[in-house]
Homo-oligomer: A and B are copies of this chain.
């Protein structure tokens, strides 16, 4: 087993101390290479995952985030679930002051879907 495969298998979010704890500032992250499997057909799905948050005591280390998102490659999960699962994992680990997760999925059957989960009620 190659080191990349091992790293993805063992992926978990690593937390770092926020270097500016007393300040409300925003971190935007975009990962355009998300892929998982459709739970009904088994065909692959593709999405860009976009994350915006205002950190509390911690920021997420970027390489561990990439590995965590890579770990969905073999999972069967719907569009709506994928966005909500990523949101919950980030929210529970980071306890940020604000969090928004967007799953921007490639069209399937000519229908394009975008799921947006945010800690502010819209």
Interface residues of A (CB under 8 A from B): 1-6, 8, 18-20, 23-33, 35, 37-38, 40-44, 46, 54, 59, 62-63, 65-66, 70, 73, 76, 78, 80-81, 83-84, 98, 106-118, 121-122
Contacts and interface: CB of A to CB of B under 8 A. Distances in A.
A117 B25 contact: yes
A27 B62 contact: no
**A-B complex: 7 closest residue pairs judged by Cβ atoms:** A2-B42, A4-B42, A5-B42, A4-B41, A4-B43, A28-B114, A25-B117
A35 B8 CA distance: 16
A115 B26 contact: yes
A3 B41 contact: yes
B73 A44 contact: yes
